[in-house]
Amino acid sequence: MNLVTGATGTVGRQVVAELLRLGRPVRALTRDPAKAGLPDGVEVVRGDLTDPDTLTGALDGVTGLHLITFGGEYFAPLETGPRIVDLAREAGVRRITVLNGGGPTPLEDAVRAGGVPWTVVTPVEFMANALEWAEGIRTADEVREPFTGRRSAMVHEGDIGAVAAVALTEDGHAGREYLVTGPEVLTLKDKTDAIAAARGRQVRLVELSEAEAVEQWRAEGRPQDVIDFLLEVYGDTPVEGRTVHDTVERVTGRPARTFAEWARTHADAFRPWSAA
């Protein structure tokens, strides 16, 4: 059995889908099973990573465990890692994958020290982040962003899920840290052009000043530390975020998906005439 935490999230849903595709049994952890909306064939269990005692039943018979490093709003880092790892080891877990958010976390430290073979999966920017533009594109044919010259090796979330699923179910990935990227480096203009082509209608890219972007993010309710993080990674994207690596192909045996493919799959999200 494989237990996927964060299973209702952008990446977790893809880890679940890939495990199902590989014919592996999947159990999905969520704080609210009624809202999970996971596919048939997935065993959905209730649990909260901030309260590890809620995980004991969920870990019964589990050999592969996929972990997120956060447990609250705006990705508040989990402090319960040592207990989670103890419970996993006692339950007989043989492989752990960790979805890393780009920096050290107490959960990841606990996994590395915990004695169960682990693999760290570190994605760059998700292609799914482009869904944040859906409303502006649907209602105004427009994307409003700062730092429009920034470059990104953004990765398809399905490929992150595929790398994690392989590391969870096959030998040869213990102690590895996988930086997972897409197959090309794109500017914002490349991305809006790909969405325009996929939806069959033009998309304007409007450059915001830093001050205008901060104002917009505040209006959206983002806390100051998140705004500071966005200014840092968008204003001066670290080299890892704009460099292509062949991890997806090496680990899964098939090439990483392009943003054009992602945009075609999600074209309806950007079409006013398809909106409910």
Bridge partners of 99, per DSSP, are: 121
156 Cβ contact list (under 8 Å, min separation 6): 127, 182, 256, 257, 258, 259, 261, 262
Q: How far is the CB of 260 from ligand NAP (least distance, A)?
A: 18
Kindly state the DSSP code that residue 257 receives in the 8-state scheme.
Answer: P
Which positions from 9 through 48 interact with ligand NAP, judged by CB under 6 A? 9-12, 29-32, 48
Q: How far is the CB of 202 from ligand NAP (least distance, A)?
A: 26
Stretch that binds ligand NAP, among 120-128, 201-209, 217-225, 247-255 (CB under 6 A): 120-128
Among 126, 133, 147, 270, binds ligand NAP (CB under 6 A): 126
Strands (E) across the chain are located at 2-4, 26-30, 42-46, 64-67, 95-99, 118-123, 142-146, 151-152, 176-180, 186-187, 204-208
Instruction: For ligand NAP, give the closer residue by CB, 58 or 166.
Output: 58
Residue 164 and residue 18 in contact, taking contact as beta carbons nearer than 8 Å: yes
Radius of gyration in angstroms for the set of CA atoms belonging to the chain, rounded to a whole number = 19
Residue 68 in contact with ligand NAP, rule: CB under 6 A: yes
Residue 56 in contact with ligand NAP, rule: CB under 6 A: no
Residue 70 in contact with ligand NAP, rule: CB under 6 A: yes
Among 18, 108, 125, 159, binds ligand NAP (CB under 6 A): 125
Residue 97 in contact with ligand NAP, rule: CB under 6 A: no
Residue 69 in contact with ligand NAP, rule: CB under 6 A: yes
Residues in contact with ligand NAP, total (CB under 6 A)?
A: 28
Which positions from 195 through 224 interact with ligand NAP, judged by CB under 6 A? none
What is the Cα–Cα distance from 275 to 268, expressed in whole angstroms? 8
Among 3, 7, 186, 263, binds ligand NAP (CB under 6 A): 7
Our CA dihedral for 225, 226, 227, 231, rounded to 10 degrees, sits at: 100
Residue 6 in contact with ligand NAP, rule: CB under 6 A: yes
Q: How far is the CB of 107 from ligand NAP (least distance, A)?
A: 10
Residue 50 in contact with ligand NAP, rule: CB under 6 A: yes
Residue 120 and residue 179 in contact, taking contact as beta carbons nearer than 8 Å: no
Residue 8 in contact with ligand NAP, rule: CB under 6 A: yes
Residue 161 in contact with ligand NAP, rule: CB under 6 A: no
Bridge partners of 151, per DSSP, are: 187
214 Cβ contact list (under 8 Å, min separation 6): 227, 231
Residue 81 in contact with ligand NAP, rule: CB under 6 A: no
Residue 72 in contact with ligand NAP, rule: CB under 6 A: yes
What is the Cα–Cα distance from 81 to 60, expressed in whole angstroms? 18
Q: Helix, strand, or coil here: 64?
A: strand
- Which residue ranges make up the site for ligand NAP (CB under 6 A)? 5-12, 29-32, 48-50, 68-72, 75, 99, 101-102, 123, 125-126, 129
